[in-house]
Amino acid sequence: MEQAASISLPVIYLHPFAWGGKTLVRLSLEQNRELYHFLYQQQDILRYSKTFKSLVTHYKKEPLEKLKERIIGRARLNTTALMRHALQAKAEPIKKGMPPAASLPLVQLVPAMLEGKTILLIRFRYHSPLIELLKKQSFTHYYAKGKCWYVQKEDVQLAALIRLLQPMARLRLDARLYPLDFASQKQLIVGHDSDWGSIDPEPFLNVLYGKGYSPNTIGTYYSLVGRFIKSNGICSQEELQTLGAAEVNLYHSRWMAQGNTAAGSVNQSVNAIKFYMQHVLDKLLEGVELVRVKGERQLPKVMSLQEVTKVLSSCDNLKHRCMLSLLYSGGLRAGELIGLKLTDIDWERKQIRIRKAKGKKDRMTLLSAVFCQQLQAYLAQYRPSVWVFEGQWGDQYTSSSLRSVFKQALQKARIAKPYTLHCLRHSFATHLLEGGTDLRYIQSLLGHNSSKTTEIYTHVSQQAIQNIQSPLDRLELTGNYHMLPSGIPQQTYDKK
């Protein structure tokens, strides 16, 4: 009977956090005016913080023991977050000695055919522990001719293979394995990430997957909500239910205060947390609009026509030249170029179909008539089978290799400016605008939802700027302003 009465008591959750070089504990509880009034009176151990908009105490044994004694019969304490904090503090020295994830070997999973059967190649550079792991499995085989390991597709599920390899490797899946089934996608996203603690992320992933969100968005939302859970020391969905807009705002304010945080990341975190609370906890953060950060407006970096010419001319390798030319020719994103298939090229209309681009939309863009002959020469020489630009093993070309190609081209062209691959897309749009192309057509070619996104190129178009006359030029000034006589060159101060 006493146990049932205890369970019915309101719960006070204790959340440890660092502030000003000290560890404090924040109290959170469901709305209970009587209990809150009682706690507010315990001023020898508790203080109300205007900064955190909650009652706080020191992370010390004495005030916590007193709090535990005083609430007997009124409420019960949930100290799960305190215990987790203590365990993390003990584990920190061990964590420092662990190798970073980047030091793990890269493993590629590539579908292939062997003796009429569908197999999955497991490609990686020599790594003794990984080889020993594969030797122990009954379903793995060594392919001597290809010098790699493989599994027969019917012998093991992809999710199980990912689960086996993930602790020891960074995985890269061939594009032909997509779209992934939910089990595989979940395993890739969750891995061995402990940010969620004892909270089950599956309901959240189920909703995102069911609504058709892209793997990148699902992974980003999962990481951002996990960061929120870990930072607040939350250990259960019940604790999440007690949080409102004030706590979410405080979390993002503290994150921004740390500096070096992109506004886009914070706003994406706001969206992820709102989505989780609405679709998993069935809780709307009403009454208070969540704080959003206004990002700095940065103009796109645009290469001049001469610089683009230098970069493309510097590529001795036909394949590399074709990749960079195609990026500029159609204003493609790097991912769109990598995902381009042979069937996406319309030679007759001189167009390229971009399938499921950003926002899962298809669009058509330009294929340069001058470039067509060069592209056909490349296809005749390299003979790709599926993708226009294939990797070493016939799989998709990687984005890191593409970035490396562009970096080398910049170095050969002796261009020291901090250009990126995406600058070719910016240059495509700006040069079209300077050539007189209507902004609406450029919007369509780029695949922008809003014309406002495309309008940013009007700020970097040199031709448009040079054609604008300063209002000072239209004034008839007297006094110290004298017109120079004709035939006398205006003095410049470039050499001062």
Active centre residues (catalytic): 333, 358, 422, 425, 448, 457
Inter-residue contact 300 to 456 (CB < 8 Å): yes
Exposure b/e, 223-232, CB count within 10 A at least 16 = b: bbbbbbbbeb
Q: Tokens 């406002």 appear where?
A: 452
Q: Which SS3 state, helix, strand or coil, does residue 16 take? A: strand
Angle at 244 between CA 242 and CA 248, to 5 degrees: 120
Q: Which SS3 state, helix, strand or coil, does residue 385 take? A: coil
What is the C-alpha to C-alpha distance for residues 355 and 353, in angstroms, rounded to an integer?
6
The token pair at 290 is 């969540």
Q: Which of 426, 176, 439 has its CA nearest to residue 304?
A: 426
What is the C-alpha to C-alpha distance for residues 322 and 197, in angstroms, rounded to an integer?
48
Contacts of 155 (CB under 8 A, 6+ apart): 139
Q: Where are the beta strands (DSSP E) in 302-397?
A: 345-346, 351-354, 363-366
Q: Which of 438, 435, 436 has its CA nearest to residue 455?
A: 438
What is the C-alpha to C-alpha distance for residues 413 and 306, in angstroms, rounded to an integer?
11
Inter-residue contact 49 to 25 (CB < 8 Å): no
What is the C-alpha to C-alpha distance for residues 338 and 208, in angstroms, rounded to an integer?
25
